[in-house]
Chains A and B, each alone.
Chain A
C-alpha cells in the first residue's frame, strides 16, 4: 500500500470494516464477501452508477447511494440489504424488463445473462408494470457482431470498454429518456464504422444478449471477460 494513503474504518451491515480512502463502498463490501447486486459496474472499467442496482442505505442520510461510486467515509454505517432496498432493486429490474423487449427463451444469452440472473437472485417472478414493447432496431451490418437494441439495458459497459481499454471510442450514447440508446460512431451502421477495430471487447462485457457474435443461436453466446482484469493489471504495472 502507498504510505500516503489513509485508511477509513466504518460499518457495513453491522460488520466492522476498513478500506483505503480511494475505495468505494462496493469495493470494500466485495473484499469482505458482502454481496451487493450490480449490473453496469465491471471490475476494470470506470464506475458510473447508471443501473442503480447497487443502491445502499447510509445511516443518517435520507437519500440512497449507489455503492459503486460512493467513497468510503470514516464512521459511516452502511446497510446493504434492507427490505426497502430489496423492493427498489426488484422495481429497477422490472423497469428494465418492461422498457426493452427481453424474450429470454429465444435469446443468445439465455442462461448466461446478468439481467436474467439478477431477476432470479433478487426474486422477480413477474413484473408489476405494463410492458412497453418498444420498436427498437437490430444492426447486423458488422461482419462478425450484432447489436440488438431490444436487449440493451443502457449499462454503457460497451461505451466504457471501447473508450477506456481499446481506446477506439466507437460506442457512445445518443438521445435521452425512453429513446436513449448506444450508437456506433455518429449513429452510423456498425459495419461502416471507421473507428471500430473489431476487437469484440464490447460484445464480451455486455451483460445481456444485446451485443453478440454472429453464428450463435439460443443460449450459445458465452461472454469471456478474463481479458479485462488482465489488461488493467498489466497496464497498472507499466
Chain B
C-alpha cells in the first residue's frame, strides 16, 4: 500500500501543538513508515500540495492569511483535523476578541512599546475582528481539544486515522488538557 500523505500547518497558535507532535519521539519513526510529511513547519515545502490525506491544523483563524491558508488546506485535504484548543475553541488566541482589533493593536504596539512605537501596516496580513475556531470557516472532520493535546493523544488520533478508523478523542483529551 502506498504511504499516506500527511501535512501539518500552524495558524494563530503558539506552536505548542507542533511541539507536542515532536514529543511523540520514537513513534515518529513508526509514523514515517506509514505516512510522508508533505507539508509542515518541520519541512521546507513552500506551497500547500494537492491530494493530502490528513492535515493537522494548529491555531485559530486570526487574520486574513490564516483564512486563505485554511481554505486552501480544506480544498486539498481528505481529512482535516482541528488540533488543539486554539483551532477547536479559539482558546488563548480568542482572548483579544472582547477588546476589538484597534484597542489590541494600540496596546501592543503603542502603549507598551518602548522604542519606535507604531502599528505595523506593511506586508503583514490584517487581523480579523475576532480570532475564531476553524470550523466556523471550513468543515472539520476530527476535533482534538487540548492545550496542547499530549503526544499519546496525537499518536492515537493519527494511528486511528491511518488505520481507516474514526478516533474517539474524548477518551484521551478535553478542553484545556
- Residues on A close to B: CB < 8 A? 97, 101-107, 110-111, 113, 116-117, 119-120, 123, 125-127, 130-131, 133-136
Contacts and interface: CB of A to CB of B under 8 A. Distances in A.
Contacts of A107: 176
Contacts of A123: 170
B82 A103 contact: no
B91 interface: yes
B135 A126 contact: yes
Contacts of B133: 126, 131
SS class of chain A's interface: helix, strand, loop or mixed? loop
A131 B88 CA distance: 11
A104 B170 contact: no
Contacts of B91: 103-105
A105 B89 CA distance: 11
A125 B145 contact: yes
Interface residues of B, number: 27
Question: Which 4 residue pairs of A and B lie closest in terms of their CB atoms, listed nearest first?
Answer: A104-B176, A105-B147, A120-B174, A133-B97
Given A110-B176, A126-B135, A127-B89, A134 B147 contact: no
B135 A133 contact: no
Contacts of B175: 102, 104-105, 116, 119-120
22 contacts: A97-B89, A103-B89, A103-B92, A103-B94, A103-B95, A104-B175, A105-B85, A105-B91, A106-B95, A107-B176, A116-B174, A116-B176, A123-B170, A125-B143, A125-B144, A125-B145, A126-B140, A126-B143, A127-B89, A134-B98, A135-B98, A136-B98
A119 B147 contact: no
Interface string B43-85: 0000000000000000000000000000000000000001001
Contacts of A126: 82, 88-89, 133, 135, 140, 143, 145
B130 interface: yes
B92 A105 contact: yes
Looking at A116, A117, A120, A136, the one whose CB has the most chain B CB atoms below 10 A away is A120
A224 to B, nearest CB: 21
Looking at B91, B98, B143, B174, the one whose CB has the most chain A CB atoms below 10 A away is B174
Interface string B137-150: 00010011101000
A102 B89 CA distance: 9
A133 B145 contact: no
B137 to A, nearest CB: 11
B25 to A, nearest CB: 23
A133 B136 CA distance: 14
B132 interface: yes
